[in-house]
Structure 1
Amino acid sequence: MRCDHVHKQSEEADKCLSCTCSCNLSHNRWIKTIFCALLNFVHIGFLYNFGLFFDELMQTFHSSAAITGWIGSLSYCFFTFGSILTTWMLRHLSYRTVGMIGVLTGSVSLLVSSFSPTIVYVIVSYGVFFGWSSNVALVVTIETQVILYQDKWRASALTMVGLGATIGNLSMSNLIEYVIQQIGWRWTFRIFALILLVVETICCSFLASKKVCDHNIEDKDTKNKITKREPTATRHVICWPEVWLFSIATLSYCIAMVFHYVNMGSFFESIGLVDQMSATGIMLMALGDASAKILIIFAAPCIVIPLIYTLPVCILVSAIMSLALTWTRNPIVIFVLSFCTGLPRGVYNALQFPSGLEIFGTNKSKTTVNVLHIWNGLGSLVGPFIFGSLYDASGTYYLALYLCSALYVLSCITMLLTPLYQKYFAPSRYLVDTKKKNVAEIYHNLAIEYVYLEEKITVV
């Protein structure tokens, strides 16, 4: 009798090993978490440091800031929009296979970019293919973490807010700048192409080698099994004015924020900071971003006010920081402002999706994803071209920073109007006060919701 029981347990264990969702051993889950974080650390961390290459590319190809900005525009655009292709691939292939495709694409794109005779090749190879490969790294790790930690919201949040990628941005800035100074941007691309290939191949070996099984997932709080969900009435939701207010807020903020990733390094050098000091400024901005995300993760249960009302405050602080960067050239002050600029950026990136759920409800999570997906992608696409054109016309980035401040103010106003419109003009849809949930509950719901989403949004 005991033997039959052991044999039955063994069969159940074998079934579990054939599916990613079955990794129940705590140490095994955390090993996968470490390598998922390392994957984001190397791949997306390198993407976030594109601003260090901006001036080098302009000088090499004798291109304008607007044309060079297209490299960053497309890379961050495909970093977002690439979720459509990545998610489709995950329906038919295993996480390990999709991850390796992303690794090979990213490594080859850097290698091809390093041999490019004109900037057009870099725009295509780096802007399109490296941007999409970065999306693969993020989506694969998000999917893996959500499945492994459906009952551990902090672990899921750690990946969702992109903490590993932010730390990569933080720790690699000075290293990348040093390598560029020593051997140039072309050899820097080649070295990191090799690093990506070796390190990320090891990371992907810890991902699931078989396609994830389709099955019901049990919500431990309700003890109810969740089956296929009915699609939301997207066409009807599009007619809601609050959706457009939230969209305008998202687009305005993203256009302004992409300046940090693409043009900020060039701005630091334009005001007299040497290369290493410019890299330090970017590093301190990433440090502020990472600090804010860590604070949100561990202090989230203590937040008692609706999250949607915290975002306008963060956005307004970002507007003030953008203006403050135009008032001084003192390196110490610039470093302090850089750190302070990263703080509201980290809070916004961590809370934008949960805040959207407060507005539209958890039953319309796909609507929230689509809104953020579309407008973040468009903002990333047009932002660097706008700022580059302003720099080409004026010879300074001050106009671009003034525009960033104006966009932040517009985003702040429309973000604040979003719940207020619901409250006073559409009370039947107003969920902020009637369905208050702390962040822990929201992230727990996200872990369940992400299994059913057909499209993913990258959060930076």
Structure 2
Amino acid sequence: MNSNTNYTRNSGVEEFALDSLTPEDITTNVSTTSLEIVSESDERKRGMMCVAAGFTCNFMIFGIAFSYGVFQDFYTSEIGPLKSESASMVALIGTLGTALTYAVGVFNNSLTYYLSCTKIMLIGSTIMSLGLILTGFANQYYQFLLTQGIMFGIGSSFLYLPPVVCAPAYFDKNRSIAMGIVFSGTGFGGLAMAAFSRYLIAHVGWRWCVRILGFMNLFVTGAASFLVYEPKTFNSVAHSRGLFKMNQLGSLKVWLQLLASFLQSAGYLIPLIYMSKYGQTLGFSLDQGALFIGVNNAVNAIFKVIIGYAADRLGRLNMITVCSLLSATTIFGLWLISTRETFISFIVLYGVFTGAIIALLPTCLVELFGLQNYQSLSGLMYFARGIGSLCGSPIAGLFITGGGSKSSEYRGSIIYNGALLLASSICLIALRTAVAFPKQKFKWKV
């Protein structure tokens, strides 16, 4: 666990962090923050509660978001409500929801100036749940876009950021393991909610399916909202009314990290979206294609924790860089080769390495910039990830030639996917060796 003043072990990081604090910041902090006396045992309990809340919210948010393919298949079917719309237009609904989950995070720093984490999350739970419930009454395309797209995305962002931002501050030695548990909710949620949504559509219809998911989300994430408290380490630095501190944008470290996050987010979801359809070009059935997505999510969830454990001992920035490179390698080395055996290997290995990238991002931000800057920079980073999501799958779809019925027609999309993750890896390598720790470039753990 962290002590009240143990922000970072690296003096270079500490210097950058402290430079961003002005006397005015400290004065503002004293006048706006009530310093609560919290024992070490209570801090430990709050840390565990924050991890539990983060896991739960990731399970619901991304479990539903990553199940959107189930809804897309039904919406565009002969009996679906959006059968007259193109597949790309229907896909935009789910893509927009996921993109806003990240992008609206840029407002998190400002919101915490006025509201507690619990209040922010309760507002988010209500908006997200209403978005799903109101989708059950939708008939026109714009109504789906407003409810299952925009309302879902805004509400889920308010739910997603508080536990993700607060959890790293409660841990030091086991920070990556904690965040691995938080983000494993994404994989387990994707595995469970896709099957659950498919079952509900078949037995109660799509309208009651989204309504049930909405009420379920309101109950589950509403309860989780009461488990998140702002760490006392955040009380020692000022909250800002602004979205972020402008002087942070003058750092090359910040820009390299933002670019790496943008590129990684753009490439991350492409295989998940096209995995089932691509599998059918190799002779796999529709049910097997759905199973592949489930296997990928399960492997992804498990290895977020395993690699998190390794990262705490071998270096977090080192591990995220290696995993990013290996993710790009699986795309060029396995997915680009159109055989059934290499495709199955790709499904498993891509799940192993890409999950770690997401889980380690918050821990690397703390390591690079210190807890003093983490809260505001996390909003900027997730904003970059949101924009990246909009630039990933939609553009990848344009590279698919023909009707996508042959594996060779996906070649351009696969190369685009690999290039995004390779470029993200290059940014991380430059950040690790040339900018953040130039004097320790040949040391494995910094």
Same topology, TM > 0.5: yes
Given candidates 347, 363, 388, the residue that maps to 1:338 is 347
Please tell me whether the aligned partners of residues 95 and 207 of structure 1 are also in contact (alpha carbons under 8 angstroms): no
Residue 399 in structure 1 maps to residue 412 in structure 2: yes
In structure 2, the residue matched to 1:295 is 306
CA displacement 1:103-134 (0-9 Å, x = unmatched): 22122211222332233222221221111222
Residue 52 in structure 1 maps to residue 74 in structure 2: no
Offset of 1:392 from its aligned partner? 7.6
Given candidates 260, 267, 275, the residue that maps to 1:256 is 267
Deviates more, 1:280-289 or 1:366-375: 366-375
Work out the CA distance in 2 between the residues paired with 1:89 and 1:240.
Answer: 24
Look up the equivalent residue of 2:423 and give its one-letter code.
L
Work out the CA distance in 2 between the residues paired with 1:140 and 1:242.
Answer: 24
Deviates more, 1:77-86 or 1:388-397: 388-397
1:213-252 mapped onto 2 (5 Å cutoff): 217=232, 226-228=236-238, 238=249, 243-252=254-263
Residue 79 in structure 1 maps to residue 79 in structure 2: no
In structure 2, the residue matched to 1:14 is none
1:20-419 mapped onto 2 (5 Å cutoff): 24=42, 30=48, 33-34=51-52, 36-59=54-77, 60=80, 61=82, 62-142=84-164, 145=167, 149=170, 153-154=174-175, 157-158=178-179, 162-204=183-225, 206-207=226-227, 217=232, 226-228=236-238, 238=249, 243-268=254-279, 273-303=284-314, 307-323=316-332, 324-328=334-338, 330=340, 334-356=343-365, 365=374, 368-369=377-378, 372-391=381-400, 395=404, 396-419=409-432
Please tell me whether the aligned partners of residues 64 and 392 of structure 1 are also in contact (alpha carbons under 8 angstroms): no
Work out the CA distance in 1 between the residues paired with 2:262 and 2:176.
Answer: 28
Inter-CA distance 257–245: structure 2 relative to 1 (3 Å threshold): same
Work out the CA distance in 1 between the residues paired with 2:58 and 2:102.
Answer: 15
Look up the equivalent residue of 2:291 and give its one-letter code.
T
Look up the equivalent residue of 1:176 and give its one-letter code.
S
Please tell me whether the aligned partners of residues 54 and 265 of structure 1 are also in contact (alpha carbons under 8 angstroms): no
Offset of 1:174 from its aligned partner? 3.0
Offset of 1:397 from its aligned partner? 4.0
Offset of 1:185 from its aligned partner? 3.9
Deviates more, 1:23-32 or 1:388-397: 23-32
Inter-CA distance 86–392: structure 2 relative to 1 (3 Å threshold): farther
Work out the CA distance in 2 between the residues paired with 1:373 and 1:41.
Answer: 18
Inter-CA distance 89–372: structure 2 relative to 1 (3 Å threshold): closer
Look up the equivalent residue of 1:290 and give its one-letter code.
A
Work out the CA distance in 1 between the residues paired with 2:147 and 2:320.
Answer: 35
Work out the CA distance in 2 between the residues paired with 1:201 and 1:63.
Answer: 34
Offset of 1:345 from its aligned partner? 0.5
CA displacement 1:395-421 (0-9 Å, x = unmatched): 354432221012222222333233444
Structure 1: give runs of 5+ residues left out of the alignment: 1-17, 220-224, 423-428, 440-460
Work out the CA distance in 1 between the residues paired with 2:351 and 2:413.
Answer: 18
Inter-CA distance 121–280: structure 2 relative to 1 (3 Å threshold): same
Identity over the aligned pairs, expressed in percent?
A: 21
In structure 2, the residue matched to 1:6 is none
Work out the CA distance in 2 between the residues paired with 1:19 and 1:244.
Answer: 35
Work out the CA distance in 2 between the residues paired with 1:131 and 1:69.
Answer: 14
Work out the CA distance in 1 between the residues paired with 2:364 and 2:395.
Answer: 28
Inter-CA distance 58–126: structure 2 relative to 1 (3 Å threshold): same
Work out the CA distance in 1 between the residues paired with 2:220 and 2:239.
Answer: 38
CA displacement 1:72-103 (0-9 Å, x = unmatched): 33212211122234444443334443333222
In structure 2, the residue matched to 1:447 is none
| Helix, strand or coil at the partner of 2:269 | helix
Work out the CA distance in 2 between the residues paired with 1:285 and 1:267.
Answer: 14
| Helix, strand or coil at the partner of 1:411 | helix
Offset of 1:188 from its aligned partner? 2.5
| Helix, strand or coil at the partner of 1:127 | helix
Please tell me whether the aligned partners of residues 72 and 262 of structure 1 are also in contact (alpha carbons under 8 angstroms): no
Please tell me whether the aligned partners of residues 54 and 262 of structure 1 are also in contact (alpha carbons under 8 angstroms): no
Look up the equivalent residue of 1:24 and give its one-letter code.
D
Please tell me whether the aligned partners of residues 65 and 389 of structure 1 are also in contact (alpha carbons under 8 angstroms): no
Count of matched residue positions in the alignment of Structure 1 and Structure 2: 400
Q: TM-score, normalised by structure 1?
A: 0.71
Offset of 1:362 from its aligned partner? 6.4
Please tell me whether the aligned partners of residues 179 and 360 of structure 2 are also in contact (alpha carbons under 8 angstroms): no
Inter-CA distance 355–142: structure 2 relative to 1 (3 Å threshold): closer
CA displacement 1:11-62 (0-9 Å, x = unmatched): xxxxxxx969568286787567545533432233222322333333333323
Please tell me whether the aligned partners of residues 37 and 164 of structure 1 are also in contact (alpha carbons under 8 angstroms): yes
Please tell me whether the aligned partners of residues 106 and 380 of structure 2 are also in contact (alpha carbons under 8 angstroms): no
Work out the CA distance in 1 between the residues paired with 2:258 and 2:171.
Answer: 29
| Helix, strand or coil at the partner of 1:82 | helix
| Helix, strand or coil at the partner of 2:330 | helix
Deviates more, 1:85-94 or 1:111-120: 85-94
